[in-house]
Structure 1
Amino acid sequence: MIETIVFDVGETITRDDRYWGSWADWLDIPRHTLSALVGAVVAQGRDNADAVRLARPGIDVAAEYAAREAAGHGEALDESDLYDDVRPALSGLRKLGIRVVIAGNQTSRMGELLRGLDLPADLIVTSGDWGVAKPAPEFFARVLEVAGAASRETVYVGDHPANDVHPAKRAGLRAAHIRRGPWGHLWADAPDVVAAADWRIDSLTQLTAILAD
């Protein structure tokens, strides 16, 4: 029996459109150009920050991030950044008596913004809050701590095989891979993802329906 569902954030709960669009604007390049570079690094299995480095060779991404924050162009989040199925799915899971946790690789600031949206979740936490990020085993150890359930009764839901599905399975959790965003679409039918994922879904409400049955 599944007692807890833990959700990734980027391209699972929230769209990354605003994030990459703001970076393109800051770098003064067309948005579709940066999107193409994101796709290129995703296909190569590289860190998505490499897209910014391809756009501006030699850039110090951390320093540039701080400069954006100082200039008032830092992280932002509102209702429009959520996928349409998020509130119905999370509400549906809680009605089933399932504990809902959101835990992803985001800054502490993004955690504050997420909590400000009053989502139907029992807990919202980020790697910035914990000081450890996916795919580190320590991150998933923390996931199990807050899940309040045995590993086989806990599901981690995410779009990224290397950051979500595989490390969750190594930690003993069950895993749902969502075909959403560049990572989710590109790797959805990869043999290792098909073999590892307990469920492969196209929407969060699909997962709610599966568990309701």
Structure 2
Amino acid sequence: MIETIVFDVGETLTRDDCYWNLWADWLGIPRHTLSALVGAVVAQGLDNAEALRLVRPGIDLAAEYHAREAAGRGECLDESDLYDDVHPGLSALQQLGVRVVIAGNQTGRVGELLRGLDLPADVIVTSAEWGVAKPQPEFFHRVLEVAQAAPDETLYVGDHPANDIFPAKAAGLRAAHIRRGPWGHLWADAPEVVAAADWRIDSLTQLVDVVRA
């Protein structure tokens, strides 16, 4: 029985368009160029940030991030960045008595922005606030602490096999892979993902049937 469902953020709850557009504008390159480079590194199984290093070799991402913030061109996140099924999906789960947690690899600023959206969630936290990030096992130990449920009663939902599905399963959690975003679509039918994921979904509203079953 699923008591708690924990959600990744980027390309699970939110579209990453704004995130990458801001980086493209800051680095002075066309948005479609950076988008194509993100797709290229995803296809190679590399971290998304490698796309930025292709644009500017040797870039200090932390320094550039702080420079953007200082220039008033930092991270943005509002209701328009949410997928359409977020509010109805999470609300329906809470109505079923499921504890809803949002925990992903994000900055503290994104945590603040998410908590300002009045999402139907019991806990919203980011890796930066915890000081540990996916796919490290410690991240999923923290997930279980806030989940307040046994590992096999806790479901982690995400789009990224290496960051979400595989480490969640290694920690004893159940896992649902969502076909959303570059990682979600490209690796949806990979044999290793099919074998690892307890469920594969296209919409958050499908989780209602998972819980009822």
Partner residue in 2 for 1:75: 75
Q: 1:35-78 CA deviation, whole Å, 9 max, x = no partner?
A: 00001111111111110110112221111111101000001110
Partner residue in 1 for 2:28: 28
Alignment partners' CA distance in 2, 1:207 and 1:66: 37
Gaps of 5+ in 2: none
2:171 aligned with 1:171, yes or no?
A: yes
3-state SS, counterpart of residue 155 of structure 1: strand
Alignment partners' CA distance in 1, 2:130 and 2:57: 31
Alignment partners' CA distance in 1, 2:74 and 2:91: 30
TM-score relative to the length of structure 2: 0.98
Alignment partners' CA distance in 2, 1:212 and 1:26: 46
2:41 aligned with 1:41, yes or no?
A: yes
Partner residue in 2 for 1:102: 102
Gaps of 5+ in 1: none
3-state SS, counterpart of residue 103 of structure 1: strand
Moved more, 166-175 or 63-72: 63-72
3-state SS, counterpart of residue 40 of structure 2: helix
3-state SS, counterpart of residue 119 of structure 2: coil
Partner residue in 2 for 1:160: 160
Q: RMSD in angstroms over aligned alpha carbons?
A: 0.7
Give the residue type in structure 2 aligned to 1:159: D
Alignment partners' CA distance in 1, 2:131 and 2:89: 28
TM-score relative to the length of structure 1: 0.98
Partner residue in 2 for 1:63: 63
Offset, 1:84: 0.3
Give the residue type in structure 2 aligned to 1:21: N
Partner residue in 1 for 2:88: 88
2:189 aligned with 1:189, yes or no?
A: yes
Q: 1:105-160 CA deviation, whole Å, 9 max, x = no partner?
A: 00111101000001000000000110000000000000001100000000000000
2:111 aligned with 1:137, yes or no?
A: no
Give the residue type in structure 1 aligned to 2:89: A
